[in-house]
Amino acid sequence: MNRQNKSTYSEYIAKAEDLADDVLRSTKRYLPHIARVCLISTFLEDGIRMWTQWSEQRKYMEDLWGMGGFLSFLFVLINLIGQIAGCAMVLSRKKVEIGVGILAGVVVLQTILYNVIWELRFLMRNFAIGGGLILLLAECKGETKSIFAGVPRLDSNTPQTYLQLAGRLLLVFMFMTLFRFDVSFISIIQNIFGSTLIILVGVGFKTKLSSLVLVVWLLCVNLYLNPFWMYSADTFIQDYLRYDFFQYMSVIGGLLLIVAHGPGGLSVDDQKKKW
């Protein structure tokens, strides 16, 4: 009976993997581009926020740190130009490494100056977004010519595989912010389900399938938790939910890069090919 159940389970997994492969084959021309757009969306949204809320952002910095008008002006300007320029480099595929470096610098700067370092939930989100940027850097370093026009593929050189491993592990932090610590049945199932999938992504086992399922799940969670479009544009709740929404989308972008390019050489999936 146990053997039969194991066989049935294996069949279900095989069918799910076939379905994931079908999705990947039908979207492989577009998936890397969609992933990049999702990944940089939080930076683009925040850069636009710096422009539309220029005075509010400057005042917040002045009140929080007691900095003068020039320093607050400089901080908002760096955030605005850095994020817009970094996004433009990534989307245009020109000077991508520099663009990723600029966006990573913005993450570090905001982590310090917005006191995110003391807010564990937001700190873990920033780690996860950093993981997505590392995966983007790995993609850039490993781009090779492909028979499919415009679709980059990744080689298995050592620096790149370490970047992919670091990116996968940092994405785990996003799901730590979704854990619910009550004892309801739904919370327990959600925690077990999410934990299992993100561990599979972290170790690189059944990675494309696990990442694809996580993308769907995280997208549903995001739409449910952060419907910012339902609130007036001049309210705090709309501002907060919009910020949260695009942070989720950036992590989804990182997962889509894993779906598009695989987990890299330092993964169970890759090692299984050598057995």
Q: What is the pLDDT of residues 8-66, one digit of tens each?
A: 767 778 787 788 788 788 888 899 999 999 999 999 999 999 999 999 999 999 998 88
Share of the chain above pLDDT 90, in %: 39
242 close to 261: Cβ distance less than 8 angstroms: no
Give residue 145's pLDDT: 39
Q: Which residue has the higher pLDDT, 212 or 275?
A: 212
Q: Please check the confidence at residue 116 and state whether its pLDDT lies above 90.
A: no
State yes or no: pLDDT of 157 exceeds 70: no
Q: How far apart are the first and last CA of the chain?
A: 29
- With 90 as the cut, is the pLDDT of residue 73 above it? yes
Name the range with the highest mean pLDDT among 1-5, 19-23, 211-215.
Answer: 211-215
Check whether 217 has a pLDDT greater than 60.
Answer: yes
pTM: 0.85
3-state SS class at 265: coil
At 239, the amino acid letter reads D
DSSP code of residue 117 = G
Query: 251 CB contacts (<8 Å, ≥6 apart)?
Result: 125, 128, 129, 131, 132, 171, 174, 218
Q: Who wins on pLDDT, 156 or 165?
A: 165
Residue-level pLDDT at 158: 65
Indicate if the pLDDT at residue 72 is higher than 70. Answer: yes
The dihedral through the CA atoms of 118, 58, 43, 179 has a sign that is: positive
For residues 138-166, average pLDDT? 65
CB-neighbour burial class of residue 162 (10 A; exposed 0-12, middle 13-18, buried 19+): middle
pLDDT-derived band at 143 (thresholds 50, 70, 90) equals low
245: pLDDT strictly greater than 60: yes
